[in-house]
């Protein structure tokens, strides 16, 4: 799979600030609230960012929802 997202970020380095990265699975996505922060005039690059990445929310530990669920499942198994 070609990493179009990485190519996009190398062309628009300023957009990296909007990228979240999960510290467990290293999955990347854009910060879900960017459009609210940039409303009503999000720059074109930032709108394009959404073509290459999906929204990715991280918890306080820098972990995405999916990993968070997995962690909780594992914790439940051990108890």
> What's the sign of the alpha-carbon dihedral 20, 24, 25, 26?
positive
Among 14, 25, 45, 61, binds Zn ion (CB under 5 A): 25
SS3 state at 76 = helix
Neighbours of 58 (CB within 10 A): 18
Examine residue 24 and tell whether it contacts Zn ion (CB under 5 A).
yes
Which parts of 48-67 interact with Zn ion (CB under 5 A)? Answer: 64, 67
Q: Which is nearer to Zn ion, 20 or 48 (CB)?
A: 20
Binding site for Zn ion (CB under 5 A): 22, 24-25, 27, 64, 67
């Amino acid at each position: 799979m070609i990493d179009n997202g990485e190519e996009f970020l190398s062309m628009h380095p300023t957009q990296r600030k909007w990228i979240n990265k999960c510290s467990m699975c290293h999955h990347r996505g854009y910060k879900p609230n960017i459009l609210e922060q940039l409303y009503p005039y999000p720059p074109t690059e930032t709108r394009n960012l959404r073509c290459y990445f999906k929204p990715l929310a991280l918890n306080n530990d820098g972990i995405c929802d999916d990993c968070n669920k997995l962690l909780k499942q594992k914790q439940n198994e051990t108890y």
